[in-house]
Amino acid sequence: MSFAKSKLPNVGTTIFTVMSALANEHKAINLSQGFPDFEVDAKLIDLVHQAMRQGYNQYAPMPGYMPLREMIAEKLYHTYNIEVNPDTEITITSGGTEALFDAIQAIVKPDDEVIIFDPAYDCYAPAVKLAGGKVVSIPLNPPHFSLDWNSIKASIHEKTVAILLNTPHNPTGTILKEADIQNLIEIIKNTNLYLISDEVYEHLVFDNQIHHSVLRYPQLRQRSFAIYSFGKTFHTTGWKIGYCVAPPELTQEFRKIHQFVTFASPSFVQVAYAAYLKDPEHYLTIPHFYQRKRDIFRKLLQENTQFDVLPCEGSYFQLVSYQRITDEPDTEFAIRMTKEIGVAAIPVSVFYQNQEQNRLLRFCFAKKEDTLHSAAERLSKL
Ligand code: PMP
Ligand code: GLN
């Protein structure tokens, strides 16, 4: 029976689920959905086992296990030189996805507008629509996917409630620069706009550039929900633990939603992360670790394939243009490549509100070196 009044009539199953299933079906190397194919640190696995054996198997406190929130506050002090109150400003969630949903539901009312940059990660727009809000898409300018601050300024009016930022950016691999932050500070100065800042790839910033978290800037921090994910930082995407950092009055509203979406996130994982965070090396080594993978993968693509490799300043995604290979639409090409060549990628049009065709694919390079080599060998046949 078809559902006549879908709240999300144009939404199907996410491309990540579709492409991973296709990759499995055809035994393809899966560079589509973003997740690592290497082992999690054995120390962290031991900590999880230990926490379960110690009895951390019942509900965690609704805002999160306090020692974990305290360790996050310490980490924020080390990374961004800011004081954050773990009691009133940090909430543990079931992944960055839940945190994004909660933040959007907390602030968006029917007919409110939220500015989202196009292309964007796929969970933002549906959450805005479920809250009754309207997505205002502003294109990022290729080839560098830069922000056009004049059109952003022109799009802000009394209905605009928030801007959704994402740095490092999925899918383009770009990062916000100091000049972007200054522009942002300037244009929101006399507004009541909130910022939802998706910073799940905060530690995947390359070439000695810095991550411009909204938390570093008091003018931004006071109106921001900053969102993070341990899945990305500690190669544990299946554990689904993230967190939101926001000023007390925003955190209060955020928790009103969080408590009825999941109430609390898995207890033993929170206990394990709290212990693991005591050694900052565990996150300080991440940029170097992924930069090496980025460099290997880019070189392999450049030397062995007909893809044109776009810049990648952060995240674990590499965009490529396939215009020298075919003029097929990207979804068709991605499906054919999975079936015939045995490598799965994400067609970039799915990240656009209007399915724009730029002849781009997104590869995830959070993979073992062997995997990257095998993928490049297969892709060289195109
Ligand atoms: N934001 C972005 C930009 C992402 O790429 C992802 C996905 N992995 C998320 C949020 C969701 O993070 P999590 O897996 O922790 O829910
Ligand atoms: N964030 C991951 C990506 O962009 C996927 C997460 C998911 O499958 N929902 O590939």
| 45 in a structural domain | no
The range of the structural domain enclosing residue 28 comes to 15-40+284-379
| 20 in a structural domain | yes
Q: Are residues 310 and 176 in the same domain?
A: no
pLDDT computed for residue 277 by the predictor:
98
> Total structural domains in the chain?
2
- In whole angstroms, what is the distance from residue 147 CA to residue 116 CA? 11
Q: Are residues 73 and 153 in the same domain?
A: yes
Q: Say yes or no: CB of residue 166 within 6 Å of ligand 1.
A: yes
Q: Are residues 272 and 307 in the same domain?
A: no
CATH classification of the domain holding 20: 3.90.1150.10
pLDDT computed for residue 1 by the predictor:
62
Q: Say yes or no: CB of residue 237 within 6 Å of ligand 1.
A: yes
| 170 in a structural domain | yes
Final residue of a structural domain among 261, 280, 299 = 280
pLDDT computed for residue 2 by the predictor:
66
Q: Are residues 236 and 300 in the same domain?
A: no
Give the ligand at the shortest distance from the Cα of 121: 1
| Residue 180 · residue 197 · CB < 8 Å | no
- In whole angstroms, what is the distance from residue 55 CA to residue 319 CA? 44
Q: Say yes or no: CB of residue 34 within 6 Å of ligand 2.
A: yes
Q: Are residues 257 and 234 in the same domain?
A: yes
pLDDT computed for residue 274 by the predictor:
98
Q: Are residues 240 and 312 in the same domain?
A: no
Q: Say yes or no: CB of residue 105 within 6 Å of ligand 2.
A: no
| Residue whose CB lies within 8 A of the most ligand 2 atoms, among 230, 237, 350, 362, for a mutation test | 237
Final residue of a structural domain among 280, 299, 326 = 280
Q: Are residues 28 and 92 in the same domain?
A: no
Q: Structure tokens of 4? A: 């006549």
Q: Say yes or no: CB of residue 202 within 6 Å of ligand 1.
A: no
Q: Are residues 187 and 204 in the same domain?
A: yes
Q: What residue owns the CA closest to ligand 1's atom 8?
A: 34
Neighbours of 54 (CB within 10 A): 10
Residue 250 CA, ligand 2 centroid: distance in Å: 26
| 5 in a structural domain | no
Q: Say yes or no: CB of residue 229 within 6 Å of ligand 1.
A: yes
- In whole angstroms, what is the distance from residue 298 CA to residue 151 CA? 33
| Tally of residues, the chain | 382
| Residue 342 · residue 27 · CB < 8 Å | yes
Final residue of a structural domain among 250, 280, 310 = 280
| 164 in a structural domain | yes
Q: Say yes or no: CB of residue 170 within 6 Å of ligand 1.
A: yes
Q: Are residues 199 and 129 in the same domain?
A: yes
Residue 236 CA, ligand 1 centroid: distance in Å: 12
Considering the entire predicted model, what is its pTM? 0.97
Question: Could you tell me if residue 360 is left (phi over 0), alpha (psi between -120 and 50 degrees) or otherwise beta?
Answer: beta
| 96 in a structural domain | yes
pLDDT computed for residue 4 by the predictor:
73
Taking CA atoms, 10 is separated from 42, 125, 132, 239, in Å, by 42, 11, 15, 29
| 10 in a structural domain | no
Q: What is the pLDDT along the chain (382 residues), one digit of tens a residue?
A: 667 789 999 888 999 999 999 999 999 999 999 999 999 999 999 999 999 999 999 999 999 999 999 999 999 999 999 999 999 999 999 999 999 999 999 999 999 999 999 999 999 999 999 999 999 999 998 778 999 999 999 999 999 999 999 999 999 999 999 999 999 999 999 999 999 999 999 999 999 999 999 999 999 999 999 999 999 999 999 999 999 999 999 999 999 999 999 999 999 999 999 999 999 999 999 999 999 999 999 999 999 999 999 999 999 999 999 999 999 999 999 999 999 999 999 999 999 988 888 999 999 999 999 999 999 999 999 9
Q: Are residues 21 and 148 in the same domain?
A: no
- In whole angstroms, what is the distance from residue 160 CA to residue 178 CA? 24
- In whole angstroms, what is the distance from residue 139 CA to residue 374 CA? 35
Q: Are residues 248 and 321 in the same domain?
A: no
Q: Are residues 110 and 253 in the same domain?
A: yes
- In whole angstroms, what is the distance from residue 349 CA to residue 58 CA? 42
CATH classification of the domain holding 275: 3.40.640.10
| 51 in a structural domain | no
Burial 178-193 (b: 16+ CB within 10 A, else e): eebbebbeebbeeeeb
Residue 16 CA, ligand 2 centroid: distance in Å: 6
